[in-house]
A and B are shown apart, each in its own frame.
Chain A
Amino acid sequence: MKRRIGTARLGLPLLLLLGGCDNWQSALEARGASAISLKHLIILIVAVCSVIWMLVMIAMIHALWRRRTAWRAPLDLVPPRERRLGWIVSICTGLTAVIILGFTVASFFTTRDISVAGQDDLTIRIGGLQWWWSVEYLDPDPSAGFVSANEIHIPTGRNVRLLLQGDDVIHSFWVPSLAGKQDLIPGRTNEITIRAERPGAYRGQCAEFCGLQHAHMGFLVTADTPEDFARWARAQRAPAANSADDEEIAAGRDVFMRKPCAGCHSIRGTQATGTSGPDLTHLASRAFIAAGLLPTSRGALAAWVADPQTLKPGNNMPLVPLTPDELRAMSAYLASLK
């Protein structure tokens, strides 16, 4: 951190861009094909602009402090010198136009570079909601599709087509390490393609202001090897784990179905079929709960259920009063939904 602050003060953006740091949600830590193209464009434009800025500064400093001849009245101008300046200003203006043209061309090629997925690629529908993400894997065979939330798995080395739809207000899908952002707009469908070459986890976050908990609307994109991905997808397609032999889990499941929980959440394989909250079928297989708020653990789940409004004020999950026993059973059940 210290080093970064030092360079920031020196005003050397280029160094910063080239100097790496460890961040799984950064346009500078590009890991996906799109993000890498974009990073090259960013470095190019920032570098050229930095040079321009320095040239302008040198010109200005020289203009301010250069040695001058004797005093002259304000209107006593020297025509040849004025003409020469006129030429210099014209040339600089011309150069400005040329540079802009160059940037436009570079932008054009970058856009062309950014991969576009075909219809037959893996297609995922992403729904943006206040304040979480619904994730629906579409498949030509409807029975092979499945629903999840807040965590997207993609196979490495393959274009993945995302259909983006805002289900309440406008949100924006942004995983800086993989691609630029794209908005989710009610009444419209946008598309974006992401592609990761290497396995890894990349964090994303809503980038369009969407209300009270805009700050806590994170998600995770996990790139797996094709084999891992296939395994994961198989597991996700399956209904929820049924650990009926564990008494505590069975009790928790009972609480879940009795209380209002089932009205909002779905757990496939049970009678919980609500759709206004995230699908919880494989909740415990995800790395985070509550849209990137807390790492998944039984303790975190218990804390969340016990008091969602303190952890994420204003979110749409109400506080459902539970006795300590019910809460313990509930957290056991939720933690069992691998």
Chain B
Amino acid sequence: MTDTIRRAQILDTELKRPELTSQLEETWKTERGLWGALSTVDHKIIGRRYITTAFVFLLLGGVLAMLIRLQLAGPEGRLIGPDRYNQIFTMHGANMMFLFAVPVMEAMGVYLVPLMVGTRNIAFPRLNAFSYWMFLAGGLVLWISFALDMGPDVGWFAYVPLSGPQYAPGKRADIWAQMITFTEVAALAVAVEIVVTVFKQRAPGMSLDRIPLFVWAMLVTSFVVIMAMPAIMVASTSLILDRLVGTHFFNPAEGGDVLLWQHLFWFFGHPEVYIIFIPAVGMVSTLVATFSRRPVFGYLPLVVALIGTGILAFGLWVHHMFTTGLPRLGESFFTASSMAIAIPSGVQIFCWIATLWEGRPVFKTPLLFVIGFIVTFVIGGLTGVMVASVPFDTQVHDTYFVVAHFHYVLIGGAVFPLLGAVYYWFPKFTGRMMSERLGRWAFWLIFTGFHATFFPMHILGLEGMPRRVYTYQPDLPWHGLNLFASASAIILAAGFFVFFIDVVMSARSGNPAGDNPWDAPTLEWATSSPPPAYNFAQIPVVSSANPLWEQPGALNVANGLHTDRREVVVTTITTAEPQARESSPQNCIWPLWTAIATSVMLVWSIFSPWAVVWGSIPIAITLIGWFWPKGTPEDEA
């Protein structure tokens, strides 16, 4: 080793408590000011940014939803023309899936997983920063295009040939396809980070059977992301190639196939639902335990159910294609395999109810959202069983019945737990409590507004109303229920409004929270709220699945880490035996430059295939800048 590389020298054992924390603060801090903000790799700052940005997209997507409801409130609505309407419903779907639901779940993981496993930063923190910038760029590309009347108008599923070169002139479909690339790169990066964080950075002693269920859920989700998202990358790349350089993947006249798109899209698209749903059930398991005042019932079956859901997710894609003319022979098989997902879902519901049954429920806002989740998700799950039946599906596929079904699953099954989770972890994020009074208002408005808006859509679907229609004719008897749904949507929107007000007001002036306001059992509550830059002054040592309940008021910790370089503990996968003291990268601006270079290349490549050649050069340069050693103690071994 040469003398130009600084070495880490100070061990935490040599320091008294105030020195220890100030030294750690110095080593792990994010600089003030713009440069600090742009170059930070702190998972908490990035996670908070990610969550906030995703909620902004939720707000924007919600505005689109209200426009849709306004247009459909009466027959032959003239408020929005078909061209704009098609952009709006495409944007609503693409935005909610790719810019809100998936990112917000991953972002909760980015913030919480390192804290819950007791480490100081996520694995690959610079990749994490890069991921956020890519996500932000993808969102901006989509929304700026929409503002310029170039928003995609082919549905969030972009079926060919409608999205192909012949029927979708202009650049709208390419914007969709490239937005996919942005968000998938971001999602895949986070997935790898979380897998490695959970595998290698768990606190000493946190063996597999002591991992918090939310962390399990994020681990399973990350594997689903890794296996599913390449399919959509392959699909969207093939689509761009068909559109830009004249390949024929989806052109039946030249040996291509239209259904190939659907296979690729749904091989991703169905797991996508579970990518959103699995983190949500992880949240529910966490919340149920804390607010039942006991450990969750059936830890092992719950973990098995999470893994089972993740695996089954890949056997279901065909159920989006039941009306494309499948061989009759396969129908029963597809029906059975699609319905099988009800078993792991059922196990989880039963375990949660068992937990509540044997626990002592504390009716705070997070628990209300959990109750709302169970009420709603069971309906969504049961309608899911209905559409899993091939013959049943032929009557409801592509109708408002399905619109109702997946909003029950996605809002009831994922957004309700998410809102509960925000109420639950907000004190950790900000150090302040959210308002219990506004929380109750938000819950009841959202809950009633949601059901009144979406329940009638089941009936509309059975009464023959197809999806994705910009209007309907007065001689069809759908007017009343549509008007009712539209009016109810106002209640739903009001609920979200109250929620956002609560978030903003509480962030400014909520009651101080303290370290562990809910008396919860997991490690993120063992540090201050909000946590310091280094998360834990000393790395926790775990001997139970509920460490803070096992030893109230006390925490077993390890020492022997350096304080003058960013250092984390690497442990073994199964039993979490300590293996090494590994460095964790310093703040770094290069991920931002790399993200900018990548964004330029991706947007440019919508217009010219040569962008891939010339645009790759700046990417390569920024990547070299990223990986080239900087001579800090973190580069030293």
Which A residues have a C-beta under 8 Å from some C-beta of B? Answer: 1-2, 4-5, 8-9, 11, 13, 16-17, 21-23, 25-28, 35, 37-38, 41-42, 45-46, 49, 52-53, 56-57, 59-60, 62-64, 66, 68, 71-75, 77-78, 81-82, 85-86, 88-89, 92-93, 96-97, 100-101, 103-104, 106-108, 110-111, 114, 130, 164, 166, 168-170, 172, 174, 176, 179-183, 185-188, 190-191, 203, 205-216, 218, 292-293, 313-314
Shortest beta-carbon distance from B326 to chain A in Å: 10
Beta-carbon contact of A75 and B395 below 8 Å: no
**A52-B382 contact, Cβ under 8 Å, with A85-B358, A182-B323:** yes
> Are A45 and B392 in touch, CB under 8 angstroms?
yes
Is B295 positioned at the interface, with any CB of A under 8 Å from its CB?
Answer: yes
Q: Are B323 and A183 in contact (CB under 8 A)?
A: yes
Give complex CA distance A208, B389 in Å: 19
B258 A4 Cβ-Cβ under 8 A: no
Check if A16 sits within 8 Å of B459, measured CB to CB.
yes
The residue in chain B whose Cβ has the minimal distance to the Cβ of A295 is: B475
Given A4-B459, A187-B252, answer yes or no on A74-B481 (Cβ-Cβ < 8 Å). no
Tell me which residues across on chain A come within 8 A of B399, comparing CB atoms.
Answer: 207
Bound-state CA distance A214–B399 (Å) is 13
Beta-carbon contact of B550 and A64 below 8 Å: no
For the complex, is B26 an interface residue (Cβ under 8 Å from A)?
no
Q: Is the CB of B462 within 8 A of A27?
A: yes
B445 located at the interface, meaning its Cβ lies under 8 Å from any Cβ of chain A in the complex? no
B432 CB–A CB distance under 8 Å? no
A-B contact count (CB 8 A): 276
Q: Which residues of A contact B459 (CB under 8 A)?
A: 4, 8, 13, 16
Stretch of B105-113, B271-279, B347-355, B490-498 on the interface side? B347-355
Given known A27-B463, A185-B325, contact A170–B258 (CB-CB < 8 A): yes
Residues of B within 8 A of A59 (CB): 353, 357
Instruction: Count B interface residues, CB 8 Å.
Output: 91
Whether B386 and A46, one on each chain, are in contact in the complex, defined by CB atoms closer than 8 angstroms, is yes
> Within B152-189, which residues are at the interface with A (CB < 8 Å)?
155, 159, 161-162, 167
Q: Which residues of A have CB within 8 Å of B357?
A: 59, 62-63, 66, 85
Q: Do A185 and B259 touch across chains, with their CB atoms under 8 A apart?
A: yes
Chain B nearest CB from A312 CB (Å) reads 9
B608 close to A (CB within 8 Å): no
Of B386, B390, B462, B479, which contacts A45 at CB under 8 A? B386
Across the interface, do B350 and A208 meet the contact criterion of CB distance under 8 Å?
Answer: no
By beta carbon, the residue of chain B nearest A113 is B391
- B520 → chain A closest CB, angstroms: 10
Q: Which A residues are in CB contact (< 8 Å) with B159? A: 169-170, 208-209
Q: Of the candidates A27, A166, A191, A209, which one forms a contact with B464 in the assembled complex, judged by CB atoms under 8 Å apart?
A: A27
Hey, which chain B residues are within 8 Å of A56, CB to CB? 349, 353, 374, 378
B81 interfacial by beta-carbon distance below 8 Å: yes
Give the CA-CA distance A74 to B333 in the complex, in Å.
Answer: 44
Contact of B81 among A78, A188, A190, A313 (CB under 8 A): A313
Contact yes or no, B252 A186, CB < 8 A: yes
**Is B323 within 8 A of A181, CB to CB?**
yes
Q: Is the CB of A82 within 8 A of B452?
A: no
Chain A: minimal CB distance from B418 (Å): 20
The reply to whether the CB of B25 lies closer than 8 angstroms to some CB of chain A is no
Q: Check if A28 sits within 8 Å of B462, measured CB to CB.
A: yes
Is residue B394 contacting chain A, with contact meaning CB distance below 8 A?
yes
Q: How far is the CA of A92 from the CA of B521 in the complex (A)?
A: 29
Q: Mark B354-396, 1 if CB is under 8 A from A, else 0.
A: 1011101100000000010011001100110110011111111
Q: Are B481 and A8 in contact (CB under 8 A)?
A: yes
Residues of chain B in range 221-258 having any CB-CB distance to chain A below 8 Å: 252-253, 257-258
